[in-house]
Chain A
Amino acid sequence: MKIATRSLEILGAWMLALIWVLPLLYAVWTAFHAPAYATHFDLTAPLTLQNFVNAWEAAPFARYFLNTTILVSLILVVQFVLCTPAAFAFARMHFPGRDVVFGLVLLQLMIMPDVLLVGNYRTMAQLGLVDSILAIALPYLGSAFGIFLLRQIFRGVPQELDDAARLEGSSLLGRLWRVYVPLARPTYIAYGLVSISYHWNNFLWPLVITNSVSTRPLTVGLAVFASTDQGIDWSIITASTLMTSAPLLVAFLLFQRQFVQSFMRAGIR
């Protein structure tokens, strides 16, 4: 009886896993076979990379890759540089207005920039930044999530370490750089991975704020390509879809453990 239930549970877990990878397997099948085999399953069908070649030539994907890379790195670097001192001040310093300002910061966890398309578009228009990579990045640079995450970890740094560095004559920024930042390294990696995957995949705001090849990130480029240029050539669409997701997917498969641990670390408060 007990063995029977257990086998049933294992079967269920495997069935669910199968259902979960099926869409992806289907896409991989279509992308690596000639269009004739897109809906026709034959294990002996010849493999081909032609769909990827066609997709790469049909749209400026190289430029889209460059745009996304610039966007993601810009956001990551500025988020680190801005959130670190803010998180430190909120964690370890006493000043009037601290709790009120921190409350205002946390508000962003619930009301994210993604929802404020209309207001932010107006600001970008006033700044003359519409259709620029900077405009895609700007709303996400001051990140409540980053400040919150780093503040939590900075609060856990033993006060004695801070005091010792102070006695040795370290300045405020010196202590932040030499004591706090090194101890928070795993959190930086976790936050970095979350930030990279979020902005690599972000779509609606970039769709609204960009309208040219030189600024569009991959996601928007893919949507434009799949909706207008291709009609229903599924082989090319799935190939381009896999191509745009590949860097993150490959990175995930290589660093699975770190990714999973990072997401866990980012989520646990």
Chain B
Amino acid sequence: MLKRETWQAWALILPAVILLVAFTHWPAITTVLDSLYTTPKGSRPPRFVGLENYAALWDDPVFWTALRNNAVYAFATIPASVILALLMALAVNTALPGRPLVRMAYFTPTMLPMIAVANIWLFFFTPDYGLFDRILAVFGGGRHNWLGDAATALPSMIAVAVWKEAGFFMIFYLAALQAMPPDLQEASNLEGASRVYFFRRVTLPLLMPTTLFVLVNAVINAFRLVDHVVVMTHGGPNNATTLLLYYIYEMGFRFWDTSMAATLTVVLLALLGTLAWLQFGVLGKRVHYR
């Protein structure tokens, strides 16, 4: 005999939980299974191949390029956008002339679709008459094909991502700064502590929970957001801007090799899982919640 509260509770959660499981947990499971079979082609049904797809992936140079690109992309965008966000928040938290305008300038890119951002920046990076080349021309620089050159294509993608995200993270830092009790600052002024000392010993530790939250989001976005790659470079030139999720998209929906796309997805899921465990398990312990 079930208790009344038990079946009531299950009735309340079931609609949401069924949908959630059907489109998050279930596809995760089928993806793992798919990665153990060949891609069905025409009348040929999928055949169980064990870990052969993973072996094929191991030998695929594009996979390693995508992994390396994503690592570079993550290690550049995450610190750059988080540090810029903190600086922006600190700037906007003081009595700055024209503060609402400055805050709006920082935050506006957040409201634009990444696809719109990509179009605007595509124009920016255009050789010769894009804004970048025109600014460089003033300083005597020559024509540069920003997105067509393997050396500058990935940094260009990184710049777009940082521009888009920093303002979003700023909001969370700003909220945390404004929630800080002002008497801390007064006490430190009485003690004659320097601003740098106060920031390092008081502000920064108090911002740790916010930093953790922002970091989690920045990490997820570094692996989740590839809209600009789809629009601006298609992963090129010569895979210089291929990120993991873009490679999954290309494999699954341009080459229609669903088994390899599934195998790649499993790698990405494993990566995200490990990062989540690192962030909450290791970093989380060092954060002081009130």
Contact = CB atoms under 8 A, between A and B. Distances in A.
B121 A23 contact: yes
A117 interface: yes
Given A13-B96, A238-B120, A115 B171 contact: no
A96 B24 contact: no
Contacts, number: 272
Contacts of B120: 23-24, 26-27, 238, 241
A267 B113 contact: no
Given A111-B269, A207-B230, A252 B111 contact: yes
A219 B10 contact: no
Contact of A116 (B10, B24, B96, B116): B24
A131 B258 CA distance: 18
Contact of B115 (A86, A101, A222): A222
Contacts of B108: 20-21, 24, 249, 252
B19 A123 contact: no
B174 interface: yes
- Size bracket of the A interface: 35 or more
Given A142-B17, A238-B120, A16 B88 contact: yes
Contacts of A114: 224, 245
B25 interface: yes
Interface string B249-263: 100110000100110
B9 A208 contact: no
A88 interface: yes
A83 interface: yes
A232 B129 CA distance: 12
Interface stretch (B51-59, B99-107, B150-158): B99-107
Q: What does DSSP make chain A's interface, helix, strand, loop or mixed?
A: helix
Nearest to B99: A13
Contacts of B176: 268
B43 interface: no
Contacts of B115: 201, 203, 219, 222-223
Interface in B30-46: 30-31, 34
Nearest to B111: A252
A188 B273 CA distance: 29
B19 A226 contact: no
Contacts of B92: 13
B113 A244 contact: yes
A138 B15 CA distance: 12
A98 B9 contact: yes
9 contacts: A83-B16, A89-B9, A123-B23, A142-B15, A144-B24, A208-B249, A241-B120, A249-B112, A260-B174
